[in-house]
Structure 1
Amino acid sequence: MQKTIRVLTLAIINLVIALAASAQEFGSWDVPVPNPERWWAPVPGFEPVEPGEHPRILFREKDLPWLRSKMDKPEGQMLLSRLRELLNGSDGRSMPLFFNPADSAYTNGHYEQLVIDSAGVYTFGHVAGYGLLFQLTGDTLYADLGRQCFDLALKGQRDRDDRYSWVDPGGALRAGPVLGWMAVGYDLCYDGWDKATRIRLGKAIEHYSTDIITKWGGVRVNLESLTSGTMPPTSNHYSMQVGGAALALLVIHKEPWANQERIDSLLQVSQRSMVHNATQGFGDGGYFAEGDGTGSMATYITYLTALQGWKNALGKDFAGAQPPNVRMMALKWLYLTYIENGKPAIWPVRGGYPHNAWSRKGLSGSGYFGLAFGVLPARYAAALQWFYERFLEDTDQDVGIQYEPSAYPHIVAATFVNWPDTLDGINPEEVLPHCYQDRRYGFYAWRNRWEDNNDIIITALTQSAHGFMGAKADTAFQIRAFGQNFSWGEIPGAVALWGRSQNGRRNLLSFKNGESVAIGFSEGHVPEALLVATGKHEGEQVEIKGQTITVQYLSQGPTPKIKARGNRIKIGTYRLRVRDGILEWLN
Structure 2
Amino acid sequence: MATAVLLAVATGEHPRLFFHKEDVPALRQKAATPEGQAIVRRLRFLLNGSDGETMPTAKRPLDAPFGDKSPEIELPEGAYSISHAAGFGMLYQLTGDKKYADLGRQCFEWAFAGVRDRDSKGRYSWKEPSGALRAGPSVGWYAVGYDLCYDGWEPAFRERVARAIQDYEKGTPHCNLDDLARGKRQHPGSNHWGAQIGGASLALLAIRGDPGVDAPHIEELLAANEKCIERQLATGWGDHGWFAEGDGPGAISSDTALVPALQAWRTAAGKDFITTHTAAQWMTLKWLMLTQIVPNPTKQNFPHRGVYDHNVWARRGLSGSGTFAQGFGAIADEFKPALLWMYNRTFKTADDIAGAPCDTVSPYPHRAVLALVNWPFGLTEKNPGEVLPRAVQDKAADFYMFRNRWADADDIIVTALLRASRGNYSVPGGDILVWGLGQKKTFPVRVTGTVKTFRATERGGGFSTSLGSFLVDFSDHDALLVLTGPVQGNVKNRLEAGGVCFTVMTLQKGAAPEPEVQGDKVVVGKRIISMENGQLQVKDRPD
Alignment TM-score, normalising by the size of structure 2: 0.91
After superposition, the Cα gap between the structure-2 partners of 1:167 and 1:136, relative to the gap in structure 1 and judged at 3 Å, is: same
Q: Deviations over 1:268-327 (max 9, x none)?
A: 111111111111111112211111111001111111111111111111211111x41111
Q: Is the 8 A contact 1:104 1:168 kept in 2?
A: no
Counterpart in 1 of 2:397?
A: 441
CA distance in 2, matches of 1:478, 1:93: 50
> Pick from 43, 58, 65: which aligns with 2:18?
58
Q: What residue number does 1:132 align with? A: 90
Is residue 517 of structure 1 aligned with residue 475 of structure 2?
no
Is 1:381 the equivalent of 2:341? no
Give runs of aligned pairs for residues 541-560 of structure 1, distance below 5 A. Answer: 542-556=495-509
Partner-residue secondary structure (3-state), 2:262: helix
Matched, 1:578 2:538: no
Shift of 1:384: 0.7
Superposed CA deviations along residues 200-224 of structure 1, whole A, max 9, x for unmatched, are: 1111112222465xxxxxx363221
With over 3 angstroms needed to count, the CA separation of the structure-2 counterparts of 1:533 and 1:502, relative to structure 1, is: closer
2:99 is the alignment partner of 1:146 = no
Verify the 8 A CA contact 1:544 1:578 in the aligned structure 2: no
Q: Tell me if 1:529 matches 2:479.
A: yes
The 3-state SS of whatever aligns with 1:338 is coil
CA distance in 2, matches of 1:117, 1:76: 27
1:44–1:67: structure 2 CA closer, same or farther, 3 Å change rule?
closer
Which range moved further: 323-332 or 554-563? 554-563
Give CA deviations for 1:30-54 in whole Å, capped at 9, x if unaligned: xxxxxxxxxxxxx974343122111
What letter matches 1:169 in structure 2? P
**Partner of residue 19, structure 1:** none
Aligned to 2:346: 391
Amino acid at match of 1:259: D
Q: Which residue of structure 1 aligns with residue 313 of structure 2? A: 358
Asked if 1:224 is matched to 2:182, the reply is no
Q: Hey, what's the Cα distance between the residues in 1 that align with 2:78 and 2:368?
A: 14
Structure 1 residues 108-160: Cα deviation after superposition (integer angstroms, max 9, x where no partner): xx624534330221111100000001101111111100000011111211111
Specify the alignment match of 1:39 in structure 2. none
- Aligned twin of 1:24: none
Alpha-carbon distance in structure 2 between the residues aligned to 1:151 and 1:91: 21
Deviation, structure 1 residue 350: 1.9
Q: Are 1:307 and 1:375, in contact at CA under 8 Å, matched by a contact in 2?
A: yes
Give the SS at the match of 1:486. Answer: strand
* 1:344 shift after superposition: 3.9
Alpha-carbon separation, structure 1, partners of 2:354 and 2:107: 30
Deviation of 1:533 after TM superposition, in Å, equals: 2.3
Structure 1 CA distance for aligned equivalents of residues 416 and 257 of structure 2: 28
Shift in CA distance, 121/44, structure 1 to aligned 2, threshold 3 Å: closer
Matched, 1:94 2:54: yes
CA distance in 2, matches of 1:250, 1:574: 57
1:454-475 Cα deviation digits (max 9, x unpaired): 100111222221111222224x
Distance change >3 Å, CA 104–CA 283, structure 1 → 2: farther
Identity %: 41
Pairing partner for 1:243 from 185, 193, 198: 198
Q: Note if contact 2:294-2:345 (Cα within 8 Å) is conserved in structure 1.
A: no
Give matches, 1:128-527, under 5 Å.
Answer: 128-161=86-119, 162-210=122-170, 219=173, 221-229=175-183, 230-321=185-276, 323-340=277-294, 342-345=296-299, 346-403=301-358, 404-474=360-430, 476-501=431-456, 503=458, 505-512=459-466, 514-522=467-475, 526=476
For 1:66, the aligned partner's letter is A
The structure-2 alpha-carbon separation of the partners of 1:519 and 1:502, relative to structure 1 and needing over 3 Å to count, comes to closer
Contact kept, 8 Å, 1:102 with 1:114, in 2: the verdict is no
**Alpha-carbon contact 1:492-1:511 (below 8 Å) kept:** no
SS of alignment partner, residue 245 of structure 1:
helix
User: Cα–Cα, structure 1 residues 309 and 433, in superposed 2: closer, same or farther, change >3 Å?
Assistant: same
Query: Is the contact between residue 82 and residue 117 of structure 2 (CA under 8 Å) also seen in structure 1?
Result: yes
Q: Distance between the aligned counterparts of 2:237 and 2:40, measured in 1?
A: 34
Gaps of 5+ in 1: 1-42, 213-218
Structure-1 separation of matches of 2:272 and 2:538: 38
Q: Secondary structure of the residue that 2:470 maps to in structure 1?
A: strand
Which amino acid in 1 is paired with 2:195? M
SS in structure 1 of the partner of residue 402 of structure 2? strand
Partner Cα distance (1:571, 1:444) in 2: 24
- Kindly indicate whether the alpha-carbon contact (under 8 Å) linking 2:6 and 2:266 is maintained by their aligned counterparts in 1: no
Query: Contact (CA 8 Å) 2:58, 2:75: kept in 1 or not?
Result: no
Post-superposition offset of 1:427: 1.5
Cα gap change, 1:339 to 1:57, in 2 (>3 Å):
same
My pick for the range that moved more, 310-319 or 430-439, is 430-439
> CA distance change for structure 1 residues 210 and 261 in 2, over 3 Å: closer, same or farther?
closer
Question: What does residue 26 of structure 1 align with?
Answer: none
Cα distance 1:185–1:507, how it changes in 2: closer, same or farther (>3 A)?
same
State the alpha-carbon separation in 2 of the partners of residues 278 and 464 from structure 1.
Answer: 19
Q: Is the 8 A contact 2:293 2:345 kept in 1?
A: no
1:240 and 1:303 in contact (8 A); partners too: yes
Conservation of the 8 A alpha-carbon contact between 2:92 and 2:100: yes
Q: Residue 506 of structure 1 contacts residue 585 of structure 1 at CA under 8 Å; is this kept in 2?
A: no
Distance in 2 (alpha carbons) for counterparts of 1:355 and 1:562: 38
- Contact 1:539-1:553 within 8 A present in 2 as well: no
| Matched residue SS, 1:449 | coil
Q: Which amino acid aligns with 1:283?
A: G
Distance 2:152 2:520 in 1: 75
CA-based RMSD of the aligned residues comes to 2.5
Equivalent residue letter for 1:463: R
Higher alpha-carbon deviation: 394-403 or 151-160: 394-403
Structure 2 Cα separation of the partners of residues 359 and 45 of structure 1: 35
Q: Which amino acid aligns with 1:432?
A: L
Q: Tell whether the 8 Å contact from 1:282 to 1:288 is kept in structure 2 after alignment.
A: yes
Kindly tell me: are residues 541 and 160 of structure 1, through their superposed partners in 2, closer, same or farther at Cα, counting changes over 3 Å? same
SS in 1 for 2:361: coil
Contact in 1 for aligned 2:403/2:460 (Cα 8 Å): no
Contact 1:167/1:211 (<8 A) preserved:
no
Contact 1:541 1:548 in 2 (8 A): yes
Residues 163, 332 of structure 1: alpha-carbon distance in 2 compared, 3 angstrom cutoff? same
Rate the CA distance shift 1:44–1:568 in 2: closer, same or farther, 3 A. farther
Structure 1 counterpart of 2:32: 72
Return the offset for 1:87.
0.6
Change (3 A) 1:203 1:274: same
1:15 is aligned to none
Tell me how far apart the structure 2 counterparts of residues 581 and 561 of structure 1 sit (CA, whole Å).
Answer: 25
1:488-532 C-alpha deviation (Å, 9 max, x unpaired): 2212322433421355x33223344x243211123xxx2532112
Q: Which residue identity does 1:583 align to in structure 2? A: L
Conserved 8 A contact 2:293-2:411: no
User: What SS does the corresponding residue of 1:316 show, helix, strand or coil?
Assistant: coil
Measure the CA separation in 2 of the matches of 1:353 and 1:73. 38
